[in-house]
Structure 1
């Protein structure tokens, strides 16, 4: 969950209370949360940089909010070099944006679908390359886009909620189960801005 200042919180509902909130919990919807329980993160890993978990319990109340004025996605982009050099956050998720410059075929040899994966290489505006591995259902989202758009010259992607992965001493990024979100050439401000800067950089290079 994210408040109007863009602060993200790891939120949860335990099984015994889930039936109360099942019909309300939808991505991209806004709510007023009353009487939520806040507790410190104790397991060493937080989905966000905020070190408290918001729990909806028997006394919590959710009311639909129609005038949310905060950011739309609350992206927390990190620099590619900080991932490669492993100075990025290790105990929370991070987001990246970049142009897809290469990708491997879909790997489905494992009978467990959550183990299926596809590997990408992204390039940022400084031409730094980052390796990313996507697992599970997001693999098929990515594969479907690549299959249906073979002639796209510039595919820019935002990956939200990634984790650090270290391979042969080099930092990479990987998705995390169903938590990771992909925005592939979507018509959102961050991707449009990246493309505009990419065009500007190419124009300056040719000048």
Structure 2
């Protein structure tokens, strides 16, 4: 592994795997087979390099024993001899054709000198989301003041699954309002916060790796499952900046 010869994610060549990348793990979750209860397919990640490029990465189940003990969210690593694999469209979170795959030959080493963004947040304005400047197929980061919210409700999804959701109305710095729906664990996290912080009049919500859809001219924001991260009144630069505006 050559730590002095690092390739940035935008320069990776799918025909080779003899490269070293230096990345931070922004998100990490276990991917299960929706058709077979209890079957684990692998570990999914969102990684970012020092240029701020974000990309998907996968450790398939047969290689998890080798790599899962080494990989943690919010930690940085050198990775050597991974390879690029084509992403099926249903699992594509970013505008990239390939994901990084860690296999048996891959080496992973902890990195102590990652010089990049802390959280890898790239905020899109409500105006750009509503105006079609953001591709609905991919994940999006957005921020807003919680202008209104409703109590959680239960509903039955496809395949008969029961899900919980809560609706919010978010207001951005330009005064544009958009509805946002948070589901299941994200609903629990948000509702738990407002219940335990009733004295806080102004609640700012930043959703990283969220989703949105357009239906009959209306735009609705939401979380995406597993990949989304919520920052609720967190002491981070983006929320501090939003408050001053």
Q: TM-score range, shorter-chain basis? A: 0.7 to 0.9
Residue of structure 1 aligned with 2:184, choices 112, 136, 140: 136
Residue of structure 1 aligned with 2:62, choices 13, 16, 20: 16
Maintained 8 Å contact 1:45/1:92: no
Alignment deviations for residues 110-154 of structure 1 (CA, whole Å, 9 cap, x no partner): 4845x2111111111111001111112111100100101112121
Q: Counterpart of 1:31?
A: 77
The structure in which a higher percent of residues are helix is 1
| Residue 82 (structure 1) shift | 2.7
Residue of structure 2 aligned with 1:91, choices 125, 129, 137: 137
Within 5 A, what are the aligned runs for 1:5-84? 5-43=51-89, 46-84=92-130
Q: Counterpart of 1:164?
A: 212
SS in 1 for 2:240: helix
Maintained 8 Å contact 1:11/1:55: yes
Paired residues in the alignment total 196
What is the rounded CA distance, in whole Å, between the counterparts of 2:119 and 2:140 in structure 1?
Answer: 13
Maintained 8 Å contact 1:117/1:136: yes
What is the rounded CA distance, in whole Å, between the counterparts of 2:123 and 2:167 in structure 1?
Answer: 20
Structure 1 spans left out of the alignment, 5+ residues? 198-207
RMSD of equivalent CA atoms: 1.7
What is the rounded CA distance, in whole Å, between the counterparts of 2:178 and 2:73 in structure 1?
Answer: 28
Quick one: structure 1 residues 44 and 141, their matched pair in 2 at CA, closer, same or farther if it must change by over 3 Å? Answer: closer
SS in 2 for 1:16: helix
Structure 2 spans left out of the alignment, 5+ residues? 1-46
| Residue 44 (structure 1) shift | 6.1
What is the rounded CA distance, in whole Å, between the counterparts of 2:226 and 2:85 in structure 1?
Answer: 24
**TM-score for both structures, normalised by structure 2:** 0.75
